[in-house]
Amino acid sequence: MFKYILKRLLMSVFILLGVSMIIYFLIRLMPVDFIQDKINAINQGGATVSQETVDAMYKMYGLGDNSFLGILGGYFSWLGALVKFDLGTSFVYGIPVADVIFEHMGISFLIALVATVFEFLIAIPLGITAATHQYSFRDYLVTVLVMIGISLPSFFFGQMLKDVLALKLGWFPASGLIDATASYTGVQLLGDYLRHCFIPILTIVILSIGARMRMTRTNMLEVMNSDYIRTARAKGLKERVVVNKHAFRNTLIPMVTSLAGLLPSLFSGAIITEQVFDLPGIGNIALDAMNRGDIPFIMGYNMFLALLSVVGVLLADLMYGIVDPRVKLE
């Protein structure tokens, strides 16, 4: 077991190295030039920037040489800093990238966490009813409804909810995270947060219920056809006990495994949903950084995502070995 984990961790390092190389080269090929934008801004202010200052600035930011070797050098200096746990300083915010990520991760994490909890609470009972009433009207109704949920584009559905619930009915604020006109504190502030996050969370929940419900349904169906369920029924147990105790517990194996796979989506932020509702989550910040050419931040954000998915896959495999005694990790 220990050897297996060690081997996987070592492999993960190589995977992340490959990922970082691809991302770094792609980012350096981006035509968005932060320095040029900055100089243009200074020029518009009336001051003139001498060519020497421009060159010095490029050199300071490590963007002077755009040839292949220059980019390679830039990559290695980025990598060298990373070994010292330094992701660099964000061009736009002027503070370390890690700080920017942590600052904006909280809100994304909170939204994703609440949405995930509701997703499980709604999807699992739906999946169980659909499976126990297979091919009935109820099964079809639930299946069709959640399939529509899967098929909705997040930007379209989010804007629709925003239009109806926020702009037409006025029940919830349309965008942002806090009410700028009021100064709340304590419980009121929390309530204000929740009011602002309600529609984004609703959007995410409706879009994600489908996959979870269908997974529950498939697993349930598989279990319901197995021999020990027939035995349980033959013993004369109530159907409710058969379903909830004997069948459902056995669907928990894939469920627990998929919990580990949720890790990336909890922290990475929903880019589109945050953009639609103008939330200061990490996804929205990253979208903005990409438009402004904030290279250290884009690099740090993408590596953060890659790290999360590597860890997620590893955790899922380990979890599988722990939950299911039939699986041996080697």
Q: Which residues bind other proteins (CB under 8 A)?
A: 11, 14-16, 18-19, 22-23, 26-27, 29-32, 135, 140, 143-144, 147-148, 150-157, 159-160, 162-163, 167-168, 268, 271-272, 275-276, 286-287, 290, 298, 301-302, 305-306, 309-310
Least CB distance to other proteins at residue 223 (A): 14
Task: Give the nearer residue to other proteins in terms of CB position, either 85 or 135.
Answer: 135
| Residue 136 dihedral angles phi and psi, to the nearest 5° | -90, 175
Task: Give the nearer residue to other proteins in terms of CB position, either 32 or 57.
Answer: 32
Which two three-digit tokens encode residue 3?
A: 């050897």
Least CB distance to other proteins at residue 139 (A): 11
Where does the chain show beta strands of DSSP type E?
A: none
Least CB distance to other proteins at residue 190 (A): 28
Helix axes 295-323, 282-292, angle to 10 degrees: 140
- 146 SS3 class: helix
Task: Give the nearer residue to other proteins in terms of CB position, either 49 or 160.
Answer: 160
Least CB distance to other proteins at residue 87 (A): 16
**244 DSSP 8-state letter:** I
Task: Give the nearer residue to other proteins in terms of CB position, either 84 or 168.
Answer: 168
C-alpha–C-alpha distance, residues 300 and 20, integer Å: 9
Provide the 10 A C-beta neighbour count for residue 55. Answer: 11
Sign of CA dihedral 284, 174, 164, 194: positive
Task: Give the nearer residue to other proteins in terms of CB position, either 167 or 252.
Answer: 167
Which two three-digit tokens encode residue 188?
A: 């009121």
Least CB distance to other proteins at residue 155 (A): 5
